Amino acid sequence: MLIRKEEPKDYDIVYSVVKAAFQHAEHSDGNEQDLVNALRKGDAFIPDLSLVAEMDGKIVGHIMFTRAKVEENTVLALAPLSVLPKYQRRGIGVSLINAGHKIAKELGYVYSIVLGSQQYYPKSGYLPADKFGIMPPFDVPSENFMACKIKEDAPGIHGTVKYAKEFGID
């Protein structure tokens, strides 16, 4: 498996991968692929943190981290993480998360947040965000709103997350 930075030539394939990955997801609004396109055009987009996973020359997964804020602190929002259904449960998603965390650390980011499965994301170091003093801007079970310290010595932060406007969360 090859994990690399997404390139503009990948956009149409990534759109299809994201759409297929969320087509039968339990918690999905069906617009994740459109969110990816919108985020690429926004101020929160970080090209180095939009990654694809390839197997045999075919893109089978994608991850995107964008900038978010907790008070005056910049954090990353992991959303979405997508793997084609027939390639799921092979470690591709965890590999994408780990590669993203490594790049994020090199770029100086210290926290990442995610809204997702409490069974899945803890494998990559995510814990309920309230343990860090990070609160969601919407009502959600605390076990599903998680954060991860990308740098072990990250300073404590406290406050409510402000997502990029493309998420449509005020």
pLDDT digits (tens, 9 = 90+) for 39-85: 999 999 999 999 999 999 999 999 999 999 999 999 999 999 999 99
Q: Which residue's structure tokens are 């804020």? A: 69
The answer, yes or no, to whether residue 147 has pLDDT greater than 90, is: yes
Q: What stretches of the chain adopt beta strand conformation (E)?
A: 2-5, 45-55, 58-70, 73-83, 111-115, 127-128, 134-135, 145-149, 159-162
Rounded distance between C-alpha atoms, residue 20 and residue 134, angstroms: 31
What lies within 8 Å, CB to CB, of 94 at 6+ separation is 123, 124
**Predicted TM-score of the model (pTM):** 0.95
Query: Is the alpha carbon torsion for 102, 106, 110, 116 positive or negative?
Result: negative
Q: Which residue's structure tokens are 């409490």? A: 118
Query: Is the alpha carbon torsion for 119, 120, 124, 127 positive or negative?
Result: negative
The answer, yes or no, to whether residue 22 has pLDDT greater than 70, is: yes
The answer, yes or no, to whether residue 26 has pLDDT greater than 70, is: no
Domain ranges of the chain: 2-165
pLDDT > 90: what percent of the chain?
A: 91
Task: Read off the pLDDT of each residue in 124-141 and give the average, rounded to a whole number.
Answer: 96
**Average pLDDT across the chain, whole number:** 95
Domain 2-165 matching CATH 1.20.1090.10: the answer reads no
Residues 92/61, Cβ–Cβ less than 8 Å: yes
Rounded distance between C-alpha atoms, residue 9 and residue 76, angstroms: 25
CA-nearest of 70, 72, 96, 113 to 17 is 96
Task: Read off the pLDDT of each residue in 11-32 and give the average, rounded to a whole number.
Answer: 86
pLDDT category of residue 31 using cuts at 50, 70 and 90:
confident
The answer, yes or no, to whether residue 149 has pLDDT greater than 70, is: yes
Please name the amino acid found at residue 119.
Q
Is there a cis peptide before residue 80, judged by omega within 30 degrees of 0? yes
